[in-house]
Amino acid sequence: MDFSAVFSYLSTLFSRPASVIVFDLFALFGWSILAYMLLVAMVSLWEVYKNMRYTKDWKYVLLAVDIPPLNVQTPKAVEQLFTHIFSVMEPPSIGYKFRRGFQQYSFSFEIVSIEGYIQFLIRTLDKYRDVVEAAVYAQYPEAEITEVEDYTADIPSNYPNDTHNVWAADFLLTQHFSQPIRMYQEFEHSISKDTVLKDPMGTFLESFSRIGPGEQMWYQLLIEPVEEKKWKPECIKKIKEMIGEKAKGGGSKIADTLTTVPIKTLEMLGDEIFGREASSGGDKGGGEPPNTILYMTPGQKKLLEAMEAKISKIGFKTMIRAIYVARKEVFNPSRGVNSLVGAMNQFNDPSSNSLLPKYLTSAQYLHAAKRKDRRRTILMKAYKDRNMYAAKDPYVLNVEELATIWHFPMSHVKTPMVQKAQGKRSEPPAGLPVEPFVSPQELPSSDQKALPPHKTPYYTDSGDVGYGDNEVKLG
C-alpha cells in the first residue's frame, strides 16, 4: 500500500471546508450506516410477518372461576397455580423463530365488577385450557369453571365517546424489578397461638363492590413466562452492586487494564526519579471497592435477602392494568378508583418496591384533552386485546408476588356479590359397573327374535335410523 498517497489524500481532505469534509466522509462511510439500518428493518419486519402468521389461527377462551364457599386455601395455592402454568414455556431457537415464527403467549388473570357483581376470570388459548383447568382444580377441587362471553365487547373502544367515559391506568414498579413488593406472608399476624392471614384481597374486593348501575371496574394481571437467563442475571448484577462487588465482564477487564497500566507506569517512573519508596500495594485487585455487606444497616440486609429470595422462584413478565368505565350520566371515578388505588398500596414496601399508577388517562399542560383521549383509547384497546406491550414495558414478578396481588379470597373475607360455587363436585365411585352398548346386529339370533316387531331398526329416506316394519331394514 502506498502510504504517501493516503497521507496526501487525507491532508487534502482536511484542508477543505467542514461541509465538504462531512459530505466526503458520508459518501465514503455513510452507505454502511444506511445498509445496517435497512438490514435491521428487514429483519424486524420479517419477524413481525412470521409472528403474524404464527398467531393468526389462535383462538381464545374466557373462563369464569367460581371459588368454593369454604375456601381455607392461602395465596400459596395460587402460587402453585402460577408455577403449574409455567409449563407452557417453550423457548425457541433462532432458526425456529425466523423460519416459522414464534410468540410466547401471555395469560390474563382478571377480576371484574359489573354494577357490583364480582367475578374472577382467566383468559387463555383454547389449547391451554386443559392446563389452566388442571392447575385450578389441583388446588381448588370444588371450584367451578365455565366458559363465558367476553364482557368487554359491549364497551366502546374509541374516545371521546357519546355514551361512555373511562378512567384507566397501568400500574408500574417504582424501582428496578429485582426489588420485590410486599409479600402475602407479611400480611400474617398472630394475636393468638394461631397465625392468621389478614387477606389483602378483602380490601381489594371491597373497592369493587362500591360501584352501582351503569358502572364497571376491571382489573387485569397479564403474565408471560420468561426464561431465567433473561432476568435473573440482571437481578444478580443489582445484588452485587449493593454489596460493592464489581461485576465481571470481558469488556470491563480490558478497559480497566488500559486505564490502570499507564497510571502504574507513571507511578513507578516517579518513584525512580524522586527516590520515593514504591507505592503500597494495598490496592491489589484492580482498585475494586471493598465488600460493604459488613457495614449494611438491618434494613439493607433485609432488602438484600428479599432480592435473593426473589430469584429463587419462577418469574413472569407482568403488566397490571385497571379500568373504570361507566355511562356518562353516572361516571364518577372517585367512587371506585380511589379505593382501588388505595387497595393496591397494600402491596407497596417503601424500603423495597411499590406499584403505582404511572400511565394514566390524565394529562396536563400542552394539548391535555387530546392526550387524555388518546390514552383512553390506547389503554381500552390494550385491555381488550390483553396486550402487555401497548403502553409501557412490562417488568418481572415471581410467582410469590403474583399470588400476593391476585388470589381467591379466603372464607373469612365477607365481601358480598362475589360469585361462588353453588354445589360440591364429586367423582363417581371407582368400581361403578357400566353396561356397554350393544347394537342389534351384534345380538345373538335368539335375542334378535325376541325383539318386538316395532323395534326393528331401519334407514329412513333422509338417511336417519328409525324403528318399525315398513322401511329398508338394517343389514
Calculate mean pLDDT across residues 356-372: 78
What pLDDT digit, counting tens, does each position of 259-279 carry? 565 566 656 655 655 555 555
**CB distance 368 to 202 below 8 Å:** no
Q: Identify the top-confidence range among 2-11, 178-187, 409-418, 461-470.
A: 178-187
- What is the enclosing helix (H) or strand (E) of 372? helix 368-385
Instruction: Give the residue ranges of DSSP H helices in 101-160.
Output: 129-139
* Residue 300, SS3 per DSSP: helix
Maximal CA-CA distance, the chain: 127
Give yes or no for a contact between 219 and 112, defined as CB atoms under 8 angstroms apart. yes
Could you read off the pLDDT of 106-131 as tens digits, one per residue?
899 999 999 888 999 999 999 899 99
Stretch (H or E) spanning 224: strand 215-225
pTM: 0.73
- Which amino acid is it at 149? E
List, in sequence order, every residue forming a beta bridge with 189; answer none if it has no partner.
196
Distances (CA, A) of 280 to 99, 264, 267: 59, 11, 11
How far is the C-alpha of 253 from the C-alpha of 224, rounded, in Å? 36
Does residue 88 have a pLDDT over 70? Answer: yes
Side-by-side strand order, sheet with 465-467: 465-467, 457-459, 472-473
75-85 and 129-139 helices, crossing angle to 10°: 150
